[in-house]
Structure 1
Amino acid sequence: MEKLNKIRQAIENAETICIFRHQFPDQDAFGSQFGLKYALQSLYPEKKIYAAGTGNEEYQTDDISDETIHHSLAIVLDTANSARMDDGRALDAQEIVRIDHHVPVEQIGTLEWIDEKASATCEMLALYFKAQKQRIGKKAAQELYEGLIADNIRFTTSNTRPQSFMAATYLVEQGADVQKANEHNYAITLKDFRYENEVRNKAVYQDHVMASIMQIEDYAKLDMEFAQAKEKVYVLAGIEEVDLWALFTEKEPGIYNASLRAKTKDVRQIAACYNGGGHVCAAGIKGLSLKQVHEIIELLIEAAK
């Protein structure tokens, strides 16, 4: 509670707040960033609140000058290490707060709240506002709820805990629409449907391990971006005979990113061998060669024994 009070004090002392998150953002990253932005705008209308990094059609980030960041409080969300930050200028801020649920790799903030047992960074933010007895508004609650159920896959991952449901309860009380959140996260387009079938069709099974290696042309022919394609690892989940599964997505010719998942096994250790990281049962790696992809598949098979 003392740490949360210090975060609140840092927020209340700042005139300008810039909110950062990791590259290639998933829904927890976007949800935590924009959920926090909308919440702070509602609670502190006199403050200047900005969202940094690369945006998209749905999430419009702000154009922030170097000087503004330098004189601001930077809040870095859902980011295990500085190399993964979408905008490295956060390190130039006057003060840095980091809120994250990944296993810590390095210290980024002058004030850090890391809870690797949390199912999502959105969960942590909801618990923060709940503890502070603050009302954040429907718009912020919606973003945080959507990020929460995206990262814990509707409360089905192994790191779902009682606090996950407490966070959800608080967000629904604040106005989050559960049905809308489920549709936004889990309804798919025809393009998604076709690509997910491609991922399944390319999947290879061996000794309780399922893996798909996807090439640029696989998603480009469907007019899909890499950032969307790499998130499809979940289509390999939920198979009774599969204990570990992985999706390898080609980002540029000959270079792959990996998403590793497991029911109970520790895939983070495998990721760490290739400068990756994440959680025990959900980890990622960037910049792999095809040779390394096949090495990792062999390591997953070994880990499944």
Structure 2
Amino acid sequence: MGLEKLHAFDAGKWGKVIRFLKEDQLISDGNIVEAREATEDDLLVVHTKRYLRSLKWSLVVATITEIPPVAFLPNFLVQRKVLKPLRTQTGGTIMAGKLAVERGWAINVGGGFHHCSGDKGGGFCAYADITLAIKFLFERVEGVSKAAIIDLDAHQGNGHERDFLDDKRVFIMDVYNRHIYPGDTHAKRAIRRKVELDWGTEDAEYLHKVALHTEGVLNEMRPDVIVYNAGTDILDGDPLGGLSISPQGIVKRDEVVFRAARSRSIPILMVTSGGYQKKTARIIADSILNLHRQRLIGPEALEEGEGTSTLVSSMMRGPVSAGSAHSAV
């Protein structure tokens, strides 16, 4: 409806990533798993009924998404045009968590709504997809009892931190610009590896800290799954991130995290989270292509005995079925 032009977020980012990967012949419709919309029962695994009812007020959704005109739209339109796509991305993250455990890795091209907790949305995030994915795995997948969240978006992931504040099963590492939103002091108590960055942090310092602390997390705790929040708002020039990481630095960052996980045979789920420049879609695609070149994802992993692999899209359709309520059709 044109409202996306009023927002810092590029609403077409995820579709562009898929298009770039198709153009580079990494994927086709036949090997993309289609995300299904999270149902109310799914969402109630984490969210309170009171919070979900609040989303029936357009003003509440306008506040969360920071698009003031949404407040004046009939809520049925808000549900269909704003919240349904977010529920689909949330369903994609839940599904990708299960696929990551089954097959070694999965990437949801979308998701990463790390400012939303079970009872409160904010920062463009209306559903707590990271929390949901982990809770689903704990409750419904045998052998998953410990998880690590490696949150490398430029902003503090206060949503999942509030959800797991007293849950020792979840180890949270968060690397973020200390000077920007949300500055949630209470939520910081949940972070077990906290790396606070200053304005304009560049590649060398950033990559050193990411590598050091990722290794530290996985040496300190061997999780059954890693949820990797791979925000690209760390990119130099991002209007909201305030850091100065190059495109090559982002590609290398993702490689560092995947290499640490794959070398230990720990399943990893990646979500794409924030990133507020038009060029971020190309960088995400380039990073996925690099992971494939480095044989950290793709069919080569099967040949090496590391399991199969899956790319989940909230934007495109594919006929692959994973055999669960949150799988593709």
TM-score, length-normalised on structure 1? 0.27
Query: Relative CO higher for 1 or 2, CA cutoff 8 Å, sep ≥ 6?
Result: 2
Larger fraction in strand: 1
Structure whose alpha-carbon radius of gyration is higher: 1
Q: TM-score, normalised by structure 2?
A: 0.25
